[in-house]
Amino acid sequence: MDQQSGQTLTFEGIAEQYKPENYILLMPQISRNLLHTVPMWSLDVATVKIDPNDKKQAYQIVGSDYGLSKTSIDRLSTAADLSIMARRIDDRSNRMRAEFEAVAMMDTPSGGARGQARSCEWDGELAKEKVHAQAVASVQKNATGNITEEQFNLRVQTKFQKDWLAEQEFGKRKTESKAGNRAVRALLGLNTSYSKTELMGKEFAVVRFVFTPDCSDREVKMLVISQTLQSRSMLYPAAPALPPAAAPAGLLESGPSADTSPVDVTPQEPTGPSEETDRMIGDIHDMLADWDGSHKEWNQLNRRLDVAIKNKDAETVGKIWNHLTDCKLKSEEGK
């Protein structure tokens, strides 16, 4: 967490520290009293640098104005800890038209979420005209020497067919992404364009809310652990008891050679990777409860663990366990 000398960040302190001449400040527009009325939540600031000279991060609109690419908007939404959901909202009856709606949301200390929804439409007829116009412009630009009208038209048709196939394949996906980008811009208060000078000289400072329970309080610690264990039990339910095994046919024969001793059919405790993963998850929670490092890394590890538990990703759980174990050993060696 970006804090100075362990002091808790406030909206006023952030505005003073990240001044407009040095940063492009993106601050959530909600009631400032929430942090005082809802405990265990605090503010965090993540900085993101956008390079206008990198075409993957920004694209030139006109003059010295640049728009943010999807890559940059994804970086900003990740820094703000946003979740984005998109869906198609038209009736799909017209293959030359598609409309998408996206919602960008952020968690708030009140226990709810704040979001913005935006939509974007793909018009196939209009897209087809644009692709054809671009094909004509491309052939005119790259034409060398004298070419006949027939050759010119053939090149345009070849270029158009290639680009139109690509538009039909990816156009709707791009429109869905545009809807998500619009929703993120609305929620974070991003401008549609920034000057090159502004992007070169400033970083984006993204303010977000983070859940920071005081695990030195035993009751809070037990509450956090119990909630996590409850979620884990839903993902890793106990294995059902094994049914009694049927006795081999030879044991039911009569006579002196028959073995009539009782057969042990007591169910065995299940063993395997799930038990080892459960053990590591328990160890991770104990080590996080005693964590004395940065709040930012603590939150990142918690988020990674939650995702790993949700996806039943034992490999990631093992990596987190190894990392925390190494940190613990280094801390003990330093003492």
Per-residue model confidence as pLDDT tens for the chain (335 residues): 444 434 567 778 888 888 999 999 988 765 555 444 445 667 788 899 999 999 999 999 878 899 999 999 999 999 988 989 999 999 999 999 999 999 999 877 766 678 899 999 999 999 999 999 999 999 999 887 788 889 999 999 999 999 999 999 999 999 999 999 999 999 999 999 999 999 999 999 998 887 766 666 676 566 656 655 555 555 455 555 555 555 455 444 444 444 444 544 444 444 444 677 877 887 887 777 777 677 677 778 888 888 888 788 888 888 888 888 878 777 766 65
First vs last C-alpha separation in the chain: 24
Listed by start position, the domains of the chain span 11-211, 214-237+273-335
Nearest alpha-carbon partner for 315 in 303, 305, 325, 330? 305
What's the rounded Cα separation, in Å, for the pair 43 and 1? Answer: 8
Q: What is the pTM of this model?
A: 0.60
Helices marked H in 290-313 — which ranges?
295-310
Contact indicator for 52, 58 with CB cutoff of 8 Å: yes
